[in-house]
Structure 1
Amino acid sequence: MTTVTDTATQAPYAEARPADAPIAESRGFSIASLVLGLVSIVAGYSFVVPIVGLVLGIMALKREPAARTMAIWGIVLNAVLLAGATLVAIGAAVFGLVMLPFAFL
């Protein structure tokens, strides 16, 4: 037994969005930057996490104007923690070079 249906009377799977409907803005880059900024507090010594968060925050400023606050917080957190990790690394290198003559006593 076969049934013939008219395709014109069936509802389409996805209806088109009306022209006046608001477009949902993406906030993925800014959220990722903020989350990586918070993760950088714990994993800032790795240098990779703050750098990725900083890049995502800068990209979010350009692409996501509605999520500007989260992007700025992500940039600030990542930049401060990256600068802190860099200063600690430089300080450790200088301390190691200063103590090098005493290593062979």
Structure 2
Amino acid sequence: MTTTTPYQTAAPVRTLSITSFVLGLASIVFGWTFVAPVAGLVVGILALGREPLGKTFAVWGIVLNAVMLAGVAFFALLALVGMGIGAIALPFAWL
């Protein structure tokens, strides 16, 4: 009598999509401002094409990284406007 053991299937690969998601969460929680969100955005876009089973993680990673980059861009623009107003008002500081 021959006994056969059921074969094990490999777990679906979702490495890129989970990496994008984790980078998005970490960049928001730890305040990583530029490099991690850009890397997470690129990895998330790559994951959309390569990992169909990880689509949800990839989309959330893209959203989180894009939100972080938009926030950084907004505050950088706000800082530049503030420095411009300060530079314009500087001659009147001694009055």
Using structure 2 for the length normalisation, give the TM-score: 0.79
Uncovered stretches (5+) of structure 2, i.e. residues with no partner = 1-6
Q: Is the 8 A contact 1:43 1:49 kept in 2?
A: no
CA RMSD of aligned residues (A): 1.8
Per-residue deviation, 1:63: 0.3
Q: In the alignment, residue 96 of structure 1 is paired with which amino acid?
A: M
Aligned counterpart for 2:47 among listed residues 60, 63, 70: 60
In the TM superposition, 1:17-96 aligns within 5 A as 22-41=9-28, 42-44=30-32, 46-96=33-83
Q: Distance in 1 between matches of 2:81 and 2:55?
A: 39
Q: Which is greater in Rg?
A: 1
Q: Distance in 2 between matches of 1:76 and 1:61?
A: 13
Q: Distance in 2 between matches of 1:103 and 1:60?
A: 50
**Which whole-Å deviations, capped at 9, do the CAs of 1:15-40 have from their partners, x for residues lacking one?**
xxxxx975543111001100000011
For the pair 1:101 / 2:61, whether they are aligned, the reply is no
* SS at 2:31 equivalent: helix
Q: Between the two structures, name the one with larger relative contact order (CA 8 Å, sep ≥ 6).
A: 2
Amino-acid identity (%): 47
